[in-house]
Structure 1
Amino acid sequence: MKNKFMKSALKCAQKAYEEGEVPIGAVVVLDGKVIARGHNRRTRRQMATAHAEIEAIEKACKKLKSWRIPECELYVTLEPCPMCMGAALNARIKKIYFGAYEDKGRSLTNQIAGANLLNHKIDVEGGVMEEECRAILSDFFSSMRAREKAKKQTGDDEAR
């Protein structure tokens, strides 16, 4: 089941990729069904909080008509940042599954999840379909560097 839901999160990440955003996707699952999806939209919205996890959690809360969604699980393609972990804690998410590890925050996620904050702790499992989740990120950044290199070589600000 974990792979099924992570594949759904990867589809969301692909949507972000196609929009020129860093390809991160998230889904919220309740009773074995995806009830909300989100993908990174920071650049498009010019909003620091427009992360995939935030979007998915907001949609799930709206759908369930509650800011507390303790029976839900969150699947995300990249290890959540502290802001997204805070949102998951506030929403009382039951468990987070993530794909690729964020090299800069590997231990931070577990520290936040296990801290005595809001009388709630989140179970966290990383490395779900890690290779696939890392691959979409690597491909995105390789393509971005190639575009930047092409721009410099041609002097064209519109190189894609």
Structure 2
Amino acid sequence: MQIDCPFEKIYPSALKRDAEYFMTHAYNEAIEAWKKDEVPIGAVIEYQGQIIASAHNQSRSTNDPTAHAEILAISQAASFIGDWRLNECTLYVTKEPCPMCSGALVIARIGKVYYGLPDPRMGCVGGALDLGALPDSNHNFESVSGVLQELNHDILKAFFEKKRQDNVAKKAAALKASTETSEDAQTQT
């Protein structure tokens, strides 16, 4: 199912491959998620200056609660490299990773993480806690917050506002249908 997304993809210049360049590609993945009625979070993994993995959330379409953008990108990157250790790789993700994804980043030994939108309640690479910096962990990684933060905030905010509006409209339609059915039943008696 294709859903209209009010946000448009951005095509950065390939001349300057910095954090914003890679985050823009993650943002474009988030737009793809929206179009599939998924929470618009996107991720890319960079290795030696090239994007080797890109993904967006697919939990709803696959009925798989683990099908987060980060998990899918980690799997693609490991397959591309031929090793589960991603020490030389950098993840760019539009929203701070959740506990599950942050744990996977530690296990995959990701080199570095850039994220757009911090999540002080559930984020686990600097928000609620920082799994990438646990003192007794077998692996630590550096994380950088706020890359294209406003852009990533805007798409998530708009998505959830639309979801709330859709839910209100569905409830109103269901209430109207229920009321009409009750009135029809009373009229027939």
Same fold (TM over 0.5): yes
Q: Which residue of 2 aligns with 1:128?
A: 147
Following TM superposition, where does structure 1 have runs of at least 4 consecutive aligned residues deviating by more than 3 angstroms?
none
User: What is the CA–CA distance in structure 1 between the aligned matches of 2:100 and 2:136, rounded to whole Å?
Assistant: 14
Quick check: 1:109 aligned with 2:125? yes
Quick check: 1:87 aligned with 2:104? yes
User: What is the CA–CA distance in structure 1 between the aligned matches of 2:173 and 2:159, rounded to whole Å?
Assistant: 21
Aligned residue identity for 2:172: Q
Structure with the bigger RCO (C-alpha within 8 Å, sep 6+) is 1
Between the two proteins, the alignment pairs up a number of residues equal to 155
User: What is the CA–CA distance in structure 2 between the aligned matches of 1:98 and 1:146, rounded to whole Å?
Assistant: 28
Q: Which residue of 2 aligns with 1:138?
A: 157
User: What is the CA–CA distance in structure 2 between the aligned matches of 1:146 and 1:100, rounded to whole Å?
Assistant: 23
Question: What is the TM-score when the length of structure 2 is the normalising length?
Answer: 0.78
Q: Which digits, 9 at most, give the CA deviation of each residue in 1:92-117, with x for residues without a partner?
A: 111000001113135x4232110135
TM-superposed CA distance for 1:82, in Å, is 1.3
Question: What is the TM-score when the length of structure 1 is the normalising length?
Answer: 0.92
Aligned residue identity for 1:120: H
Q: Which residue of 2 aligns with 1:72?
A: 89
Q: Which residue of 2 aligns with 1:6?
A: 23
- 1:90 and 1:118 in contact (8 A); partners too: no
Aligned residue identity for 1:82: P
Quick check: 1:20 aligned with 2:37? yes
Aligned residue identity for 2:29: C
Larger Rg: 2
Q: 1:35 aligns with which of 52, 59, 63?
A: 52
RMSD, matched Cα: 1.4
Structure 1 SS opposite 2:97: coil
User: What is the CA–CA distance in structure 2 between the aligned matches of 1:93 and 1:117, rounded to whole Å?
Assistant: 17
Using the aligned pairs only, state the percent identity. Answer: 39
Q: 1:49 aligns with which of 66, 70, 80?
A: 66
User: What is the CA–CA distance in structure 1 between the aligned matches of 2:20 and 2:36, rounded to whole Å?
Assistant: 24
